[in-house]
Structures are given as C-alpha cells and as structure tokens.
Amino acid sequence: MHTALAKEIHATGNPIPPPACLISGGETTVTLRGTGLGGRNQEFVLASALEIAGLASTVILSCGTDGTDGPTDAADAIADGHTVHRAAKLGMHPEKYLSKNDSYHFFEPLDDLVKTGLTNTNVMDVRLVLVG
C-alpha cells in the first residue's frame, strides 16, 4: 500500500500532491523462508525498494523506535528510487536477498542501514514515505 500510494502521487498528484510525506505506524510481519539476517523493518524497506525502483525523489524508511530490528544492531534501513540500481552496480540482486530474508546483508554494503543504538523506548515501528 505504501509504494502504491507513492506511485499514485507521482502519477496523478493524488491523494495529495508532491512534495508529500506519508507516515504510518505499527508492526509488520515477515514470513520466514530463509536463514538470512534482518528484521521486519529492513525487509519492508527491501521489498519497497523493488517497487519504487526508478521513481525519482522517493524515499522509504521503516524504523523500530527501540533502536533494533530483529536480531540486528540496526533499527532500520532506508531506500530510494536509486537503491536497486546502486545494488546492481555491485552485482547484488535484491530479489535473492528478499527470498532468503537477508535484508541486513543487502543494505550493509550500500551503507543504507540506520543504526541509532538502543533507545530504551519501544512505542511502535514508524514508516515514512517521502515523495518529491
């Protein structure tokens, strides 16, 4: 739904015209298929990166307010319309990482993990979609 809204904003200016910021909260779920490393926020951003590939001025962030995501030292990852292209230049295929639930190792070489350290606060996961 998040990426569909970003695409619609780009295409038609609806439901709000760009520049736009969509904000949502709550925790997503992940279906485990592989033995990779990552958490629900990183997986959400990796799946979103595939959907927004090529969309200029679009950025997606999903972050755990406690400062961790799954069994990792990252609270999140961040992706934009160029993430998939940058990964391809490194010989990385996002679908492969997604199929193994290995989002951490996808974002790590791109330097797109968000590491805040523990916050000692756990309100909810927060997602931001910025569309320019």
Q: What is the pLDDT of residues 39-73, one digit of tens each?
A: 999 999 999 999 999 998 999 999 999 999 989 99
Residue 4, pLDDT score: 97
Residue 3 has pLDDT above 90, yes or no: yes
Mean pLDDT of the chain: 95
Helices (H), the chain: 2-12, 40-52, 83-89, 94-99, 103-107
The tokens for 116 are 């805040």
CATH number for the domain spanning 114: value is 3.40.1480.10
Number of separate domains in the chain: 1
Residue 10 has pLDDT above 90, yes or no: yes
Residue 56, pLDDT score: 86
Band (78; pLDDT cuts 50, 70, 90): very high
Residue 29, pLDDT score: 87
Q: How far is CA 8 from CA 18, 35, 46, 78, 127, in A?
A: 10, 34, 20, 21, 18
What does the pLDDT average to over 67-86?
Answer: 95
* Phi, psi of 86, deg, nearest 5: -65, -40
Q: Do the beta carbons of residue 75 and residue 39 sit within 8 Å?
A: no
Residue 87 has pLDDT above 90, yes or no: yes
Whether the model pTM is above 0.75 = yes
Residue 57: which domain range? 2-131
The amino acid occupying position 19 is P
What does the pLDDT average to over 96-117?
Answer: 97
